[in-house]
Amino acid sequence: MNSVRKKKRTGLQFDIESPLAIELRRIMIRINRELDLERKRCIMITSSERGEGKSLFSLHFSQVLAHHMQKRILLVDGDMRRPVQHTVFDTDRAPGFAELLRGDDEGVKPHKTVLANLDFLPAGLAGDNPSKLLQEDRIRAVFATLKLDYDIVILDCPPVVPVSDPLQLVSVVDGAIYLVLAGRTPRDVCERGVNILKSVGTNIIGVVANNLAEVLPYYFDHKYYGYGERVRKG
């Protein structure tokens, strides 16, 4: 069993000079200009709807950061309703983020990955009503603790149109990256998601048009989709 798990985790490493990794490195460079990643930072990754690639982007972006920055990186699966990251890392779903929010800190420890400076915290078990766990004082306490051990926290959040969970996490993030599926996310749905985030003062640092046809993400500034730059068609 141990050998099987080791093999699966080793498979998380991808070609750091692949077209995907190079495009993600460009995104990292542009975001660094916006946020100054030399400081302690927490970045939310979200989308308008399910199926737009936010979790895969969160995973690969965390790996690129770990490869290219001498920083302690933590990937948090903040989608307590439909978590997927624990299946990728071949770990248990709990204990994790939900238990920290609940105050059940004992035994909750991020998992090590094959990259020495990248750790992973699974979603945990939130029960039938995850939003009840998202109390502002508890959220702030949890992330204050995480920032003691990590320089950059990547928070894989649920989509903003179906649920309100990401809005309750805005107070602890320095910026949000918004994923859309190039050629498939309707403009009105994307604009609704942007407006929902902006309504609570979210710092939208960029929009990534996830082009599945070419397996490449494209980055645009926060004025994308009717706020400035036009989308590159996938």
Question: In terms of residue numbers, what domain contains 90?
Answer: 17-220
Q: Give CA–CA dist 179/52, Å, rounded.
A: 7
Global pTM reads: 0.86
Residue ranges of the chain with pLDDT lower than 70?
1-14, 211-234
Q: Give CA–CA dist 190/205, Å, rounded.
A: 15
CATH number of the domain enclosing 199? 3.40.50.300
| 46-58 exposure pattern, b = at least 16 Cβ within 10 A, e = fewer | bbbbeebbbbbbb
CB atoms within 10 A of CB 140: 12
Decide if 133 is inside a domain.
yes
Decide if 195 is inside a domain.
yes
What is the predicted pLDDT for the residue at 1? 31
Decide if 2 is inside a domain.
no
Decide if 225 is inside a domain.
no
What is the predicted pLDDT for the residue at 218? 56
Side-chain half-sphere exposure of 41, counting CA atoms within 13 A: 23
pLDDT tens, residue by residue, 121-138: 999 999 888 999 999 999
Decide if 233 is inside a domain.
no
CB atoms within 10 A of CB 185: 21
What is the predicted pLDDT for the residue at 163? 93
Decide if 231 is inside a domain.
no
Decide if 230 is inside a domain.
no
Number of domains in the chain: 1
Q: Give CA–CA dist 129/177, Å, rounded.
A: 25
Q: At what angle do helices 54-68 and 19-35 cross, to 10 degrees?
A: 80
pLDDT tens, residue by residue, 171-191: 999 999 999 887 788 889 989
Angle value at C-alpha 5, between 3 and 10, nearest 5 degrees:
95
Decide if 1 is inside a domain.
no
